[in-house]
Structure 1
């Protein structure tokens, strides 16, 4: 019987923690976990361990948190554990060639899109923002490019009409965990055939910035609704009314029309705002210093009248 696969793991957020737990539950020997250094978080800005580090410590796994992996000293603990393969999931560091070739079976990545679509930092956000009907997980053999390596395994799932980045993240984290366990089972025997990514269909999922949050009401309602779902829970889409920045957590497209940004109708359960094409019924809102709430409750503390107009600027304008 061959020796059990030694699987080093590199990852940082909850998406990666889900995969690490699945690998451990499947019985793989994980001699070392790499994750980002502890960062300030919460209202007190206390140094906080990443979700991956928390899982590793709870399961008694050795943790290393190098700032980079450029020098031999920074790679020393990884080299010393002699992994057969390094699994990478949302780690946050670029791996140099010295790391890519260190494990006997190389490094494999869990990427939250159907490559080559949405290479890069924010594939879940960008898939929803673009109105894609499906996405998925690609298990990829890593090379020095940005998500350009050969594909080992792909699994697709539909993007539901109500999916936000938060809900789709959780679906893909579960799928990614299952996919990497499936891939690891086949890797030693060479049962996974690497398939080069096609040159056609390449798109890049640039990192999400807070500056993208401002809604450009001149855009079609469907595009804005997709952006609202994509930016939930971060950075959260915003509209400005009476010099107050209001977070828009959810909205629905309705068949109304008017000057973009104009409030067309208000009642106890809805605020309807005209867009470049059709309109949006705002469903969940949040004003500064308050919590997110249904429109009816929001209106009791911040009345809105038909005929008022949201500022029409916004960095999402074409």
Structure 2
């Protein structure tokens, strides 16, 4: 098969590399344009573009495929099939119809649950115990096409979305190659999706990052996991600055252990957002239970252990996170 591969971030690279190592031919890579990064605003190509360049594969940078020019570029490639992994832009119907075998997509959710842009993050935030690797035919609807392949994957209890996406991208890459081979051989079979249980995984926005400690400890923990390592959940410090919270665990402070600079004893029930600090640990109260802060990023600083931050922060007794403000 002659393939156009469409992808942009690091999670798309394993599938690209698996296709390059297969009997099929990637005739071009379609990816989002280079973006300015750092203080110098230097244009940096996507991770998929870097991988394609290393293999000498032609690269088409396009943030939209609605122009006649983009369609003409793809048409000249005379490809058989398009393979999409986290490209990051809508593929319009005229492009879907361009290739003899259409376009297939690698999606990390148990379809029809979590259709959309952030399925792993939304699954973790919701406390789902499992997800799936799905390879389906792209059509006009949002992740509604018939499914070629589905593999259920357990969501590890403490994993964050970044690490889990990396795992899923590596697990799913050979599955994509197998589906491509089945399509080439004419043996591929699809199963239509139902609408029962369909949910939508909207992109993570700023409002999703603010931690509401009136929620339960498990909800707070899952939110932190879902947003880590980037962009990172946060809470407001007493001075109104943001403390990024990058790793937690559901944990109750041991009874009768003196605290430092916060509640008088660790065995006390902490109010929602109240911090308790000992020499080696930091807890925050929630609406039901408490969470232990493991990794944080203070304002203007890199990630560090929460206990090290708290020792240097010299928190006032009974410090309450978010007391100075909250997201609207």
Please give the TM-score of this superposition, normalised by the length of structure 1. Answer: 0.93
On the 8 A contact 1:85/1:103 being kept in 2, the answer is yes
Tell me by how many angstroms 1:153 deviates: 0.4
On the 8 A contact 2:182/2:188 being kept in 1, the answer is yes
Matched ranges for 1:240-259 at <5 A: 240-243=236-239, 244-255=241-252, 257-259=269-271
The residue that corresponds to 1:301 in the other structure is 312
In structure 1, what is the Cα distance between the partners aligned to 2:144 and 2:65? 20
The residue that corresponds to 1:85 in the other structure is 81
2:290 maps to 1:261? no
- Choose which of 286, 295, 298 in structure 1 pairs with 2:297: 286
In structure 1, what is the Cα distance between the partners aligned to 2:11 and 2:119? 13
Matched ranges for 1:38-77 at <5 A: 38-77=34-73
In structure 2, what is the Cα distance between the partners aligned to 1:51 and 1:191? 33
2:41 maps to 1:29? no
Gaps of 5+ in 1: none
Tell me by how many angstroms 1:227 deviates: 0.2
Matched ranges for 1:159-174 at <5 A: 159-174=155-170
- Secondary structure of 1:10's match? strand
The residue that corresponds to 2:265 in the other structure is none
- Choose which of 118, 124, 139 in structure 2 pairs with 1:122: 118
The residue that corresponds to 2:258 in the other structure is none
2:107 maps to 1:111? yes
Deviations 1:146-189 (A, max 9, x none): 11111110112111111101110111110221211111111123
In structure 2, what is the Cα distance between the partners aligned to 1:41 and 1:115? 34
Gaps of 5+ in 2: 254-268
Tell me by how many angstroms 1:10 deviates: 0.9
Tell me by how many angstroms 1:72 deviates: 2.8
The residue that corresponds to 2:145 in the other structure is 149
Cα 1:286–1:66 change in 2 (3 A) is closer
- Structure 1 segments of 4+ aligned residues over 6 angstroms from their partners: none
In structure 1, what is the Cα distance between the partners aligned to 2:107 and 2:176? 10
Deviations 1:3-45 (A, max 9, x none): xx11111111111122111100113211111111111123322
The residue that corresponds to 2:14 in the other structure is 18
Tell me by how many angstroms 1:212 deviates: 1.9
On the 8 A contact 1:213/1:315 being kept in 2, the answer is no
Deviations 1:212-263 (A, max 9, x none): 2111110001000000010102221112222232111111112463321122
2:202 maps to 1:190? no
- Secondary structure of 1:73's match? helix
**Count of aligned positions:** 311
In structure 1, what is the Cα distance between the partners aligned to 2:306 and 2:34? 38
Cα 1:258–1:296 change in 2 (3 A) is closer
In structure 1, what is the Cα distance between the partners aligned to 2:33 and 2:56? 18
In structure 2, what is the Cα distance between the partners aligned to 1:161 and 1:233? 16
Cα 1:20–1:178 change in 2 (3 A) is same
In structure 2, what is the Cα distance between the partners aligned to 1:314 and 1:182? 48
- Choose which of 228, 231, 235 in structure 1 pairs with 2:231: 235
- 302-311 or 102-111: bigger deviation: 302-311
